[in-house]
Chains A and B, each alone.
Chain A
Amino acid sequence: MNLYSGPAQRHRPGIAPAPAGSGDQDAQAAVTALYRDHAVALIKLAHVMLASRTTAEDVVQDAFYGLYRHWNRLADKDKAVGYLRTSVLNGCRTALRRKISSPEIIATREPMPATSAEAAVLWAAERGEVARALRRLPNRQREVLVLTYYLDLTGEQISAETGIRATSIRSARHRGLAALGRVLKESS
């Protein structure tokens, strides 16, 4: 799965007036285009990390605002997407630290993709269980698991994205899986 393979977003108006200056207008146009192409994929990533859609949208919004503020200082504009993904991961870490999205939100507020009522109940239980277990993991293990099993990134790709050594990533994945397996076995 490609992180940025989500369907192109319909451009929505509602952008705040740009600050004066052509550089700021360029930044606004560029960031808006990036948002149109990558926002949904990043919201999905944050949603998987946080299990809270509202908080995920806030984190992504903040990441794009940060990119907009630092656009003129960004040496390589082609790396903007990587910058955004790192910002989103950092934002998720902050959100989890502040415990803004509570376990109750995990279990109850999100719409269920299942069709029948029974399936919806089962899905809610499974989802909440995994999300709570994931939340108990250290940041690195959680991020490596999400990047591996949601984005299908290899250890080398995660290493390139995050700057963490590949051996550390393998270790984090192994430990995270073991801890998650234990927690899920205890709770089931």
Chain B
Amino acid sequence: MTRTEDRLRTIFNGIADEIPAGGAPPLDLGSRGFWSNPAAFDRNDEWRPATRSRRWLPAVAASLAIAVLTVAAVIGANLSAGRGPRPAGPSSVGYVPPYYVALKLLTPEPTRPGGLFPARTEAVVRSTATGATIATITPPAP
């Protein structure tokens, strides 16, 4: 037998001997027991019947639940009343398109207004973020 085993036996028997031979308290079969309601034990660890103090518990719990539901309903109604109808489709506010199209002048000088031949241009598709040319669309010659 190891030292730990010896030590355990000694300690266990010593702890058990702390309970005297007649050390059992009176049996109480009229209460619900300690674990069902530990709060019923006061600081002196004496049992006191707690049935009376628990009678109001369901009523209080029901009242609290009703109060919480009422407050939640009122707050929800106020929030929905303050909000207008939502616009159809996605909002464009704050939205930056990933591409843009620019017209590039091909002729050296713009023709004067009202001239016979308008200035020649091509459409250049660029990335908004980098400015890189993604595609160029050249219109056919007139």
Q: Which residues of A contact B (CB under 8 A)?
A: 6-7, 9-10, 12-18, 28, 31-32, 35, 39-40, 43-45, 47-48, 51, 53-54, 56-62, 64-66, 68, 91, 94, 98, 100, 110-111, 113, 123, 126-127, 130-131, 145-146, 149-150, 177, 180-181, 184
Residue contact B24 to A149, C-beta cutoff 8 Å: no
CA distance A89 to B52 in the complex (A): 31
Enumerate chain A residues within 8 angstroms of B45, measured Cβ to Cβ: 54, 58
Closest A residue to B34 using CB positions: A58
CA distance A32 to B29 in the complex (A): 9
Whether, in the assembled complex, B30 has its beta carbon less than 8 Å from a beta carbon of chain A, the answer is yes
Q: Which residues of B contact A (CB under 8 A)?
A: 2, 4-5, 7-9, 11-19, 21-36, 38, 41, 45
CA distance A130 to B14 in the complex (A): 12
Additional A-B contacts beyond A40-B19, A43-B19, A98-B38 (10; CB < 8 A):
A35-B24, A39-B24, A40-B24, A47-B15, A65-B29, A66-B33, A131-B15, A145-B8, A149-B8, A181-B2
Write 27 A-B pairs (CB below 8 A) sorted by A numbering.
A6-B21, A7-B21, A12-B27, A13-B26, A14-B28, A15-B28, A15-B29, A17-B30, A43-B23, A43-B24, A44-B16, A44-B19, A45-B16, A47-B18, A56-B19, A58-B41, A58-B45, A59-B34, A60-B24, A61-B33, A61-B34, A66-B33, A68-B29, A111-B18, A146-B12, A177-B4, A181-B4
